[in-house]
Structure 1
Amino acid sequence: MTYTPDAVRHLQLSTVTLPLSTPISDAKVFTGRQRPMTEVVFLVAEITTEQGHSGVGFSYSKRAGGPAQYAHAKEVAEGLIGEDPSDIAKVYDKLLWAGASVGRSGVATQALAAIDVALWDLKAKRAGLPLAKLLGAHRDSVRTYNTSGGFLQASLEEVKDRATASLEAGIGGIKIKVGLPDSAEDLRRVAGVREHIGAGVPLMVDANQQWDRATALRMGRRLEEFDLTWIEEPLDAYDAEGHARLTAALDTPIATGEMLASVAEHVRLIEARSCDIIQPDAPRVGGITQFLRLAALADQRGLDLAPHFAMEIHLHLAAAYPREPWVEHFDWLDPLFEERLETRDGRMLVPSRPGLGITLSEQARAWTTDSAGFGTA
């Protein structure tokens, strides 16, 4: 049996605005740096080939940047038409250089991420395999923790109730937000959640980059008593040296990386030994192709992995990581897809459906604010 070359016939790009039922606040809101989050904007790519194969992918932006991703993707999209969808790395480089005058990170690569993810989804579907299996899975389920119930606009009692609901739903760990101007309130909330869920349940905290170096060290030492699985983003995302000092000074593992927008930015973290757990985000670094490059470097340095957000993508990538990882559970994206990911006994199960295993819902179509087609529909 020989391979018959295929070609991309059509690309549909859409921008979708998902409203959040409640405005969301982390520490960046309480320090005055950002406004509460009320929506998430998605860039969706749907690809069809001459042989009738198809794939869907997405990237996203919170608070700002969604229109920029959509605009950039439209500018370079024609370069995909006629390319063999199997040549994902080649296609990525072609589109990257088509828009390289605005750089090779940030919006420029986040716009390509939706296309890159769709190509991987297509490739796995054509093979009849879940993406994790196509990549070479090390496991059929991944440890999972919930974040969406632990934001700072919620009272401590609400956070406790949501933690209980998450654990009862088969989720294995709980992460809550910290980084308030009042550190005593942070400690009160952590102590309350730890007491509520018990000593045996994994508990993480996330300061969303709002501490300076002195505060991070002081709070890190105060938090040691709670036996945390990790402290996330204690410092500015680009402070590799400060994170390295914390990693060396504290017993609690340090996790960071979600806000970085390229492999090159993560390499600096990795080389500086700035964390114990690296948290790349495939849509932010440019897609699955770039994530796999980064994961290989992280594994070589012995880092644990806990990808940020977008569990529909990251479940497959985490399942293919050699070291036992974590995947972040957010229920925000549920309305966008027909399918649901299953959690059981503290783990998220890799779906048996081919590709990513997701289908856009009618609600996602209804929330589409603009769309553009390229090639022949």
Structure 2
Amino acid sequence: MPADSIRSVTLSTVTLPLGRAVSDAKVFTGRQKPMTEVVLLFAEIVTEQDQYGLGFTYSKRAGGPGQYAHAAEVAENLIGEDPNDIARLVTELEWAGASVGRSGLATQALAAFDVALYDLKAKRAGLPLAKLLGAHRDSVRAYNTSGGFLNASLEEVKERAGRSLEEGIGGIKIKVGLPDGAEDLRRVQGVREHVGDGVPLMVDANQQWDRATALRMGRRLEEFGLVWIEEPLDAYDVEGHARLTRALDTPVATGEMLASVAEHERLIEGAACDVIQPDAPRVGGITRFLRLMALADQRGLDLAPHFAMEIHLHLAACYPRETWVEHFDWLDPLFNERLETKDGRMLVPDRPGLGVTLSDRARAWTTASVSFGVR
């Protein structure tokens, strides 16, 4: 028998309303509707020794109910298991639901368990997750995305950019990919002039350019000294990304939409980006993310994880070379704690585990919950 074992698992799905509907290029090309909410799946794991771990995954626009349903089907497999054996347990959960595959929605659902097990393990050790994994630094360069969406006017984007810099965030990312490329260029030029040449600036086309447009726009954007051009092409166009990476001086970033290690391996092996942007909840959790970090480091890629800064701050701090973490304030109402930014960087909290606890508002926004092993 293990020294400790999992006594209960509780799953909760939470619908987080956004204060304002947001639109990126996919809305302006007619492929999606404006985003009004984020649906999260939380996993809370408690052991016989009353150790507690919290993990989460998320979905945007669709998939939340499916994640919850899949997680609920396999959660009972964790009861009685040793919580330290994270890799083994995640593999068992994958095989428990293998008939629906090991990528996409199924993988994303399992990420909540994986993250909760790591949170628990770090808390048991009395360490922040980054310290448990082996950090290279105590802070990570941070850039803001939530102020740069296309539904906002240029003046509003500039105002939000200035405010972010005043709050200690180091870089600014804005959305591009409009049907009118001239308007994209006007907005980028306006923000660059507003923040100055010394501020790191990124753009994100959200997969809405074809190869010819991406090359043409990429060349026009060279003059703005961008840190990277993000998702210029369809996420699965490895060959197109590789060609663009070779053709442009500006680094190319992509990877956030890929939902497995295997998909990222094709991207890495194809030399299809300069900056890789995996998302731990989307690839199945921290276990899988660590494998990706090793592959990316071996190829000398830069790393900038997507969204979910509450998880990714810890992981980015463990990458051998300097990284970026994406600052979104959307999830702030869900947690009692806040991540601190200073001098352009986000500070790794000294609290054990992820360093966050669920707020009363998160509990109030819960639309469904189920527990296993409670007695």
Displaced runs of 4+ in structure 1, greater than 6 A?
Answer: none
Q: Which residue of 2 aligns with 1:176?
A: 174
Q: Which residue of 2 aligns with 1:112?
A: 110
Percent identity for Structure 1 against Structure 2: 82
User: Which residue identity lines up with residue 84 of structure 2 in the other structure?
Assistant: S
- TM-score, normalised by the number of residues in structure 1: 0.99
Tell me which of 127, 147, 151 is aligned to 1:149: 147
- The 5 A counterparts of 1:232-311 are 232-311=230-309
Distance 2:88 2:49 in 1: 20
Matched, 1:132 2:154: no
Matched, 1:82 2:80: yes
User: Over residues 241-283 of structure 1, what are the superposed CA-to-partner deviations in whole Å (9 max), with x where a residue is unaligned?
Assistant: 0000010000000000000000000000000000000000000
SS of residue in 1 equivalent to 2:253: strand
Q: Which residue of 2 aligns with 1:362?
A: 360
- The 5 A counterparts of 1:1-377 are 5-377=3-375
Distance 1:50 1:111 in 2: 24
- Superposition deviation, residue 206 in structure 1: 0.1
- Superposition deviation, residue 6 in structure 1: 1.0
Distance 1:116 1:374 in 2: 16
User: Which residue identity lines up with residue 345 of structure 2 in the other structure?
Assistant: R
Distance 2:208 2:3 in 1: 51
Distance 1:366 1:52 in 2: 24
CA contact (8 A) 2:304 2:325 kept: yes
Distance 1:301 1:119 in 2: 29
Distance 2:334 2:232 in 1: 31
SS of residue in 1 equivalent to 2:179: coil
Distance 1:37 1:276 in 2: 29
- Superposition deviation, residue 376 in structure 1: 2.0
CA contact (8 A) 2:142 2:344 kept: yes
- Superposition deviation, residue 4 in structure 1: 6.1
Gaps of 5+ in 2: none
User: Which residue identity lines up with residue 321 of structure 2 in the other structure?
Assistant: R
Distance 1:185 1:31 in 2: 14
User: Which residue identity lines up with residue 216 of structure 1 in the other structure?
Assistant: A
Number of matched pairs:
375
CA contact (8 A) 2:142 2:346 kept: yes
Distance 2:285 2:374 in 1: 25
- Superposition deviation, residue 108 in structure 1: 0.6
Distance 1:5 1:310 in 2: 32
User: Which residue identity lines up with residue 367 of structure 2 in the other structure?
Assistant: T
User: Over residues 118-166 of structure 1, what are the superposed CA-to-partner deviations in whole Å (9 max), with x where a residue is unaligned?
Assistant: 0000000000000000000000000000000000000000000000000
SS of residue in 1 equivalent to 2:150: coil
- Superposition deviation, residue 66 in structure 1: 0.2
User: Which residue identity lines up with residue 152 of structure 1 in the other structure?
Assistant: L
User: Which residue identity lines up with residue 81 of structure 2 in the other structure?
Assistant: E
CA contact (8 A) 2:2 2:82 kept: no
CA contact (8 A) 2:314 2:354 kept: yes
Distance 1:83 1:36 in 2: 42
User: Which residue identity lines up with residue 146 of structure 1 in the other structure?
Assistant: N
SS of residue in 1 equivalent to 2:235: coil
SS of residue in 1 equivalent to 2:17: strand
Distance 2:172 2:26 in 1: 20
CA contact (8 A) 2:204 2:229 kept: yes
Distance 1:82 1:41 in 2: 29
- Superposition deviation, residue 5 in structure 1: 1.9
Distance 2:3 2:321 in 1: 35
User: Which residue identity lines up with residue 344 of structure 2 in the other structure?
Assistant: G
